[in-house]
Amino acid sequence: MPTLSDIVAARERIADRIHHTPLLSATRIGASVGAVLMHKCESLQKTGSFKVRGALNRVAQLDEAARASGVVTVSAGNHAQALAWAARDAGVRCTVVMPTTASRTKVDASRGYGAEVVLHGTSGIEAFARAHELAVERSLTFVHPFDDEAVMAGQGTVGLEVLEQADAVDDVVVPIGGGGLIAGIAVAIKEKRPSVRVYGVEPTGAAVMRKSLDAGRPVRLERMQTIADGLAAPMAGDLTYPIVRQYVDDVVLVSDDEIVAAMRELLFSAKLLAEGGGAAATAAVMSGKLPVEGRRVVAVVSGGNVDRGRVREVLGDD
Amino acid sequence: MPTLSDIVAARERIADRIHHTPLLSATRIGASVGAVLMHKCESLQKTGSFKVRGALNRVAQLDEAARASGVVTVSAGNHAQALAWAARDAGVRCTVVMPTTASRTKVDASRGYGAEVVLHGTSGIEAFARAHELAVERSLTFVHPFDDEAVMAGQGTVGLEVLEQADAVDDVVVPIGGGGLIAGIAVAIKEKRPSVRVYGVEPTGAAVMRKSLDAGRPVRLERMQTIADGLAAPMAGDLTYPIVRQYVDDVVLVSDDEIVAAMRELLFSAKLLAEGGGAAATAAVMSGKLPVEGRRVVAVVSGGNVDRGRVREVLGDD
Q: How many CB atoms lie within 10 A of CB B55?
A: 34
The answer to whether B308 contacts A268, with C-beta atoms less than 8 Å apart, is: yes
CA distance B273 to chain A (A): 5
Q: How far is the C-alpha of A4 from the C-alpha of A189, rounded, in Å?
A: 9
User: Given B22, B268, B318, which is nearest A22 (Cβ)?
Assistant: B22
| pLDDT of res. A318 | 64
* A163 touching B (Cβ < 8 Å): no
Please tell me which residue in A40, A46, A51, A106 is annotated as part of the active site.
A51
The answer to whether B315 contacts A316, with C-beta atoms less than 8 Å apart, is: no
Please report the number of interchain residue pairs, chain A to chain B, with beta-carbon separation below 8 angstroms: 56
Spacing of C-alpha A229 from chain mean position: 11
| Chain A partners within 8 Å of B318 (Cβ) | 308
| DSSP element (H, E) containing A134 | helix A124-137
Q: How far is the C-alpha of B135 from the C-alpha of B119, rounded, in Å?
A: 15
Q: How far is the C-alpha of B56 from the C-alpha of B61, rounded, in Å?
A: 9
Show Cβ contacts of residue A145 under 8 Å, excluding neighbours closer than 6 positions: A51, A73, A74, A75, A79, A151, A177, A178, A180, A233
The answer to whether B271 contacts A304, with C-beta atoms less than 8 Å apart, is: yes
Question: Is B287 considered catalytic here?
Answer: no
Q: One digit per residue, pLDDT tens: chain A, 318 residues?
A: 999 999 999 999 999 999 999 999 999 999 999 999 999 999 999 999 999 999 999 999 999 999 999 999 998 789 999 999 999 999 999 999 998 988 788 899 899 999 999 999 987 788 989 999 999 999 999 999 999 999 999 999 999 999 999 989 999 999 999 999 999 999 999 999 999 999 999 999 999 999 999 999 999 998 899 999 999 998 999 999 999 999 999 999 999 999 999 999 999 999 999 999 999 999 999 999 999 999 999 999 999 999 999 999 999 876
| pLDDT of res. A222 | 87
The answer to whether A316 contacts B304, with C-beta atoms less than 8 Å apart, is: no
Query: Is there a contact between B269 and B8 (Cβ–Cβ < 8 Å)?
Result: no
Q: What is the ipTM of this complex?
A: 0.95
CA distance B299 to chain A (A): 17
- Mutation target to probe the A interface, by most A beta carbons within 10 A, among B271, B301, B308 is B271
Q: How far is the C-alpha of A33 from the C-alpha of A36, rounded, in Å?
A: 9
| pLDDT of res. A20 | 96
Q: How far is the C-alpha of A52 from the C-alpha of B190, rounded, in Å?
A: 38
**Closest by CA position to B160, among listed B311, B44, B295, B9:** B9
Q: Could you give the residue ranges of the DSSP H alpha helices within B177-235? A: 180-192, 208-215
Q: Is A260 helix (H, G, I), strand (E, B) or coil?
A: helix
CA distance A262 to chain B (A): 15
CA distance A167 to chain B (A): 14
Q: How far is the C-alpha of A310 from the C-alpha of A103, rounded, in Å?
A: 12
| Chain A partners within 8 Å of B270 (Cβ) | 44
Q: How far is the C-alpha of B51 from the C-alpha of B302, rounded, in Å?
A: 9
The answer to whether B24 contacts A19, with C-beta atoms less than 8 Å apart, is: yes
Query: Is there a contact between A203 and A231 (Cβ–Cβ < 8 Å)?
Result: yes
| Chain B partners within 8 Å of A268 (Cβ) | 273, 307-308
Q: Is A216 helix (H, G, I), strand (E, B) or coil?
A: coil
Question: Is A51 considered catalytic here?
Answer: yes
| pLDDT < 70 stretches in chain B | 318
- Kindly report the pTM of this predicted structure: 0.96
As to burial, measured by CB atoms within 10 angstroms (0-12 exposed, 13-18 middle, 19+ buried), residue B89 is middle
| pLDDT of res. A122 | 85
User: Given B24, B27, B43, which is nearest A271 (Cβ)?
Assistant: B43
User: Given A271, A315, A318, which is nearest B304 (Cβ)?
Assistant: A271
Show Cβ contacts of residue A260 under 8 Å, excluding neighbours closer than 6 positions: A227, A276, A313, A314
